[in-house]
Amino acid sequence: MSGREGLVGTAVKTSRSGYLQGCIIKHLEGLVVQYDLTVRDSDGSVVQFLYGEDGLDIPKTQFLQPKQFPFLASNYEVIMRSKHLHEVLSRADPKKALRHFRAIKKWHSRRSSGPLRRGAFLSYSQKVQDTVRALNLKGENRNGRSPEAQQVLQMWYELDEKSRQKYQRKAAPCPDPSLSVWRPDIYLASVSEHFEKKIDDYSQEWALEAEKSYKKSELSLDRLRTLLHLKWQRSLCDPGEAVGLLAAQSIGEPSTQMTLNTFHFAGRGEMNVTLGIPRLREILMVASANIKTPMMSVPVFNTKKALRRVRSLKKQLTRVCLEEVLQKVDVQESFCMGEKQNKFRVYQLRFQFLPHEYYKQEKCLRPEDILHFMETRFFRLLMESVRKKHSKDSSFRSVNTRRATQQDLEGAGESETRRGEQEGEEEEEGDIVNADAEEGDADASDAKRKQKQEEEVDYESEEEEEKEEEEEDAQEEGDADGEGGPQAREPDETTGSGPNEDMPPSPPLCPGPQGTEAVERRVQAVREAHSFIEDYQYDTAESLWCQVTMKLPLVKANFDMGSLLASLARSTVVYSTRGITRCLLSETTSSRNGKELMLSTEGINLPELFKYAEVLDLRRLYSNDIHAMASAYGIEAALRVIEKEIKDVFAVYGIAIDPRHLSLVADYMCFEGVYKPLNRFGIQSNSSPLQQMTFETSFQFLKQATMMGSHDELRSPSACLVVGKVVKGGTGLFELKQPLR
């Protein structure tokens, strides 16, 4: 037995994590910090204006924590001499950055508890609207504006400049962060707002301790702040740092520690979520639009009206299968002779449904809706399943067997070779992004296992086969049924498991007791809609049962009608909201340490949740589907989702990754304006043909570059290594110019 065929070898899948790390490294290898502190790719495209949003080198950030501030303060004299603080202060002026921070603090102090910021004209119009109404202006609307609106607009234009500036100052937005205005390597004291808050907090503590102390300290408060600002500036990332490779290794190496139980779904809060390497492959390598376990979560407003309505909303969003409302099914089978000695098999099926009290608290459904679904959809689906079962059994019984000869074996080998060549060509020319097909790291055990499965005869039971096939058919037909129509809201519009084409007219839905004529008309409509139904009866009082008699031609193949009904009821959807399968309400702790109700769904349908803005806090809606977030909220929102999802995958295993690494990877995947995967399809937008050829499918990229006349400027690390040049990174980043005499 080889090393990859053991229990641990097949579960750990080190080749998958290794290939994932290789993909990340190949894409990020050209990301280097430049002399203007921007992170650029080898072609000069800007990925980040400041590395990690603050420009700091990750190993040096450990000395910028508040617990290190007392050590820096006690060693002020040593640091001042070693860092040449006086020379720095003589060349760098901290006044501009400090003035900018004072403006930011002043803006926050004025609007800390006030209302939301309004525009200058809106504030002025609200102030003078009572005066304008008192004028009782009359006239026609011009350009869609009433006479009152025209008067307000004229008064705003006639306002003097000083008064107008007063309103504009009140409506002024918050100043931009200091790091985006003043470069931190040139202007001292240009730090992040988070670090400035740490300095303010420590300065207050230090001042209180200095007052209590009898011994007067030589270190003043201004000198302390200058020292900490200098420490920040000296902690900036050096130009030439290969931050792309560091980020790729920081994500790729810990991924090898996620082993064994990470290749399944793990229950978290009663919901299934994909973890470990499979989830990382979905996010990074495949950028899949159809993830395995999509979900949404949105907080509920803490009002009586919202808390009361969210219960009914949960019922509306929950999918209901027929199995959940079906109590039992009685099947009676008999034989009969028809005309011309034709033989028939007769099934009498009685469906007993659960009383409404059992599920009315959890499901948005009534017994009348279930009965209407049975008449219009389920009986047709049942007949289609019977036909598929008959055709499947008859095809199995018509197979002839004989002993294989040597000629057959040789012919099979040649056809297999030709088929392999054709598949190889199709794979090279195809553009389909597949999670398993494009990984390029197939284990030896996987190949052997697939070969054995192809050679062996599958002796699974008929019930398992029919369940699998019917579930697949039901899913495919349900999808085709749901995509073309409107949003599935009412029970008679829901996505069942059969197509909508040639649907018979629906019998009238009449709740409550019905007259004899109405009952006969309804039974006749069911019999006309389904030719195989001989008789039909139903509960006219409470709609809790229905009975149907089916007459089918007698065939040689026999099957169990009970197991067929069980599998069909399990996969048939009576009521659903498109894209959502389950809905849960859970109590969580908010950011203010208070309790709040959270609505979570399995499946995604953002437009449906947008309809309930008075119940749900849509500003805090979150989904793990990156493509859905990008289309609904923009690429910046998708970028934050990528960071959070990667962080959550590693957090389950107690692995922490610096957010600067995650932000760099997310920025690289989204800086082109679309969510780009880190695979051979994502590298097609790279400007270096040699970097593409050294990744995968070298011949395909070489052929494309030759036919398109592409050229390589030999700036990427892969291109430099191919031709033996010094890589543009680290000490090889700068260039020397020497005048020739």
- At 639, list the tokens: 């970028």
Residue indicated by tokens 């899949």 = 288
Write the single-letter amino acid at 243: V
Contact present, 533 and 549 (Cβ < 8 Å) = yes
Which percentage of the chain shows pLDDT scores above 90?
15
Which percentage of the chain shows pLDDT scores above 70?
77
- Higher pLDDT, residue 413 or 210: 210
pLDDT at 660 over 70: yes
CA end-to-end span of the chain: 72
The 8-class DSSP code of residue 378 comes to I
pLDDT at residue 223 in the model: 84
- Higher pLDDT, residue 449 or 144: 144
pLDDT at residue 259 in the model: 57
Q: What is the dihedral of CA 155, 157, 161, 163, to 10 degrees?
A: 30
Mean pLDDT of 52-67: 90
The 8-class DSSP code of residue 513 comes to -
pLDDT at 34 over 90: yes
Tens of pLDDT, residue by residue over 687-737, are 889 988 988 888 999 998 999 998 988 889 999 999 998 898 888 888 888
Tens of pLDDT, residue by residue over 246-293, are 999 999 888 877 654 444 444 444 567 777 888 888 898 888 888 888
Where does the pLDDT of residue 45 fall: very low under 50, low under 70, confident under 90, or very high at 90 and above?
A: very high
Q: What is the location of CATH 1.10.357.120 in the chain? A: 58-234
Question: 375 in helix, strand or coil?
Answer: helix
> What is the number of residues in the chain?
741
- At 50, list the tokens: 């400041």
The 8-class DSSP code of residue 577 comes to B
Where does the pLDDT of residue 111 fall: very low under 50, low under 70, confident under 90, or very high at 90 and above?
A: confident
Closest by CA to 578, choosing from 319, 221, 206, 272, is 319
Question: 603 in helix, strand or coil?
Answer: strand
Range of weakest confidence among 462-471, 517-526, 644-653: 462-471
Contact present, 443 and 540 (Cβ < 8 Å) = no
- For residue 266, what are the β-bridge partners? 273
> What is the CA 259 to chain-centroid distance, rounded?
23
Range of weakest confidence among 26-30, 105-109, 390-394: 390-394
Where does the pLDDT of residue 488 fall: very low under 50, low under 70, confident under 90, or very high at 90 and above?
A: very low
User: For 586, what's the count of Cα atoms within 13 Å in the CB-facing half-sphere?
Assistant: 14
Mean pLDDT of 445-468: 47
pLDDT at 582 over 60: yes
pLDDT at residue 400 in the model: 52
Contact present, 250 and 739 (Cβ < 8 Å) = no
Q: What is the location of CATH 3.30.70.2850 in the chain? A: 320-390+517-575
CB-based contacts of 332-340 (< 8 A; 24+ apart in sequence): 333/561, 335/554, 336/551
Contact present, 92 and 86 (Cβ < 8 Å) = no
Q: Other C-beta atoms within 10 Å of 706: how many?
A: 10
- At 198, list the tokens: 């740490």
Domain over 282-318+579-655 is classified CATH 3.30.70 = yes
pLDDT at residue 40 in the model: 93
**Which sign, positive or negative, has the C-alpha torsion 74, 79, 81, 85?**
negative
Where does the pLDDT of residue 452 fall: very low under 50, low under 70, confident under 90, or very high at 90 and above?
A: low
- For residue 598, what are the β-bridge partners? 299, 586
Where does the pLDDT of residue 12 fall: very low under 50, low under 70, confident under 90, or very high at 90 and above?
A: low
Closest by CA to 280, choosing from 628, 665, 606, is 665
Tens of pLDDT, residue by residue over 194-239, are 999 999 999 888 888 888 776 667 778 888 888 888 889 889 999 9
Pick the CATH number of 320-390+517-575 from 3.50.50.60, 3.30.70.2850, 3.40.309.10, 1.10.10.60: 3.30.70.2850
pLDDT at residue 314 in the model: 87
pLDDT at residue 58 in the model: 92
> What is the CA 522 to chain-centroid distance, rounded?
46
pLDDT at residue 375 in the model: 87
CATH topology classification for 58-234: Tetracycline Repressor; domain 2 (1.10.357)
pLDDT at residue 11 in the model: 55
Closest by CA to 423, choosing from 408, 432, 452, 285, is 432
Entry pTM: 0.75
Q: What phi-psi label fits residue 670: left (phi over 0), alpha (psi between -120 and 50 degrees) or beta?
A: alpha
- CA 447, 453, 458 angle in degrees (round to 5)? 170
Q: Other C-beta atoms within 10 Å of 650: how many?
A: 20
Tens of pLDDT, residue by residue over 330-384, are 988 888 887 777 788 888 889 998 988 888 888 888 888 888 998 888 888 888 8
Task: State the Cα–Cα distance between residues 442 and 445, nearest whole angstrom.
Answer: 8
- Higher pLDDT, residue 681 or 216: 681
Range of weakest confidence among 164-178, 499-513, 553-567, 706-720: 499-513
Range of weakest confidence among 111-115, 232-236, 465-469, 613-617: 465-469
Task: State the Cα–Cα distance between residues 516 and 522, nearest whole angstrom.
Answer: 10
Q: If you write DSSP's letter for every residue of 270-329 in order, what string do you get?
A: TEEEE-HHHHHIIIIII--SS-SS-EEEEEBPSSHHHHHHHHHHHHHHS-EEHHHHEEEE
